Amino acid sequence: MAKTKKQELPIIRLTRFQIHITSPKKEGKESPKETIHTFYGVDAEGNERVYAELQSDEQFKKWSKIEPL
């Protein structure tokens, strides 16, 4: 019998966010900076976990237009 993964409760409130920016050691067009947006939220039981992790500014812009929270 296969094990089933416990379904996580939906996030009801965002609690914090983190932006991680890495820039190249040398300025140049061939090595752009990277930006990671990480959002944390809590579920109905009060458990905090990662809600969304977006790997670029473009992903963040698209996500923020359609995200209800």
Q: What is the pLDDT along the chain (69 residues), one digit of tens a residue?
A: 455 556 778 899 999 999 998 877 766 666 667 899 999 999 999 999 999 999 998 999 999 999 887
Phi, psi of 61 (to 5 degrees): -60, -45
Beta bridge partners of residue 22, listed in sequence order: 34
Tell me 57's DSSP state: H
6 in any annotated domain: no
Q: Domain containing 38: what range?
A: 22-66
**Cα separation, 35 vs 21, whole angstroms:** 4
Quote the pLDDT of residue 20.
Answer: 92
Whether the predicted model's global pTM rises above the 0.85 cut: no
How many independent structural domains does the chain possess? 1
29 in any annotated domain: yes
11 in any annotated domain: no
* Angle at alpha carbon of residue 65, lines to 62 and 67, rounded to 5°: 100
17 in any annotated domain: no
15 in any annotated domain: no
10 in any annotated domain: no
50 in any annotated domain: yes
Quote the pLDDT of residue 37.
Answer: 94
